[in-house]
Amino acid sequence: MQHRLEFTADLEVERNCLTCPYLADREAELVYWLPQGGTRATDLDRRLAVGQRRHGPLVYEPRCNGCQECISLRIPVYDFQMSRSQSRIWRRGQKSLEAKVGLPTLDRSRLRLINSHSDWRGWLTSDEQVTPTFYEQVFVQSMFHTVEIAYYHAGELVGVAICDRGSTSLSAVYTFYNPDYAAWSLGTYSILYQLAYCQDIGLPFLYLGYYVADCRSLRYKANFRPHQRRIDGVWVDFP
């Protein structure tokens, strides 16, 4: 109901019914809209606040029948406190990695990196690849202000985070990295870097997308505390 109330001008372009990527025993329904409202930073803030996410030039949210396990999660930036393990990851990354913030771009190194990461995660079959067209459409094209955080080790690109920037928020769209650096916890380091980036530019919220308690690959998001989860349309504190 939130979408219908606040974004009535949007054009619904697709409604996908598929096996849930998070809970394999369930069916998922994702609804995609072409935004017809504003594309300012404040418009992104409003969409994130009601649980929407961006996918290329579209926005989407789950509308699954009888299931509400996908819960939007955000971190109040100025309240966040690192755990001891996160502090170790942060110190190591600060010593060994260089981060560069710029506009999203497509090149061979990024395409090779995302395919290596996707294959390692088991998200692609042996004959599948993330194509240049897909990468361009999903990560480079955006109706909002999108930034790329590129992580380098000894001059080698080892990780990329795609983020949307609002007036009060940063949305972590997607992060991928070299599997050879998995022991470095680059996914966690990237979130910690995004939190520091938010502090530097004065953004009070970092949105991590959807949290699903019974999905192992999404469970890590709950480790960043305190945080807030959107439950029944209300943001609830988890200290």
CA-CA distances (angstroms) from residue 52 to 65, 72, 213, 220?
17, 8, 19, 20
109 vs 36, more confident: 109
Take residue 116 and report the two structure tokens written for it.
Answer: 């290596």
Which residues on adjacent β-strands are paired with residue 230? 235
Query: In the predicted model, what is the mean pLDDT of residues 108-129?
Result: 85
Render pLDDT for 196-234 as a digit per residue (tens, 0 to 9).
999 999 999 999 999 999 998 899 999 999 999 999 999
Domain boundaries, the chain: 2-71
19 vs 102, more confident: 102
Render pLDDT for 6-62 as a digit per residue (tens, 0 to 9).
677 788 888 988 888 888 888 999 999 998 877 899 999 999 999 999 999 999 999
Query: In the predicted model, what is the mean pLDDT of residues 90-99?
Result: 98
Query: In the predicted model, what is the mean pLDDT of residues 121-128?
Result: 71
Task: Give the predicted TM-score (pTM) of the model.
Answer: 0.93
Render pLDDT for 174-186 as a digit per residue (tens, 0 to 9).
999 999 999 999 9
Pairing of strands 71-76, 98-102: unpaired
Q: What is the pLDDT of residue 19?
A: 87
CA-CA distances (angstroms) from residue 186 to 36, 62, 93, 132, 178?
36, 27, 8, 24, 9
Residue 1 has pLDDT above 50, yes or no: no
Query: In the predicted model, what is the mean pLDDT of residues 97-117?
Result: 96
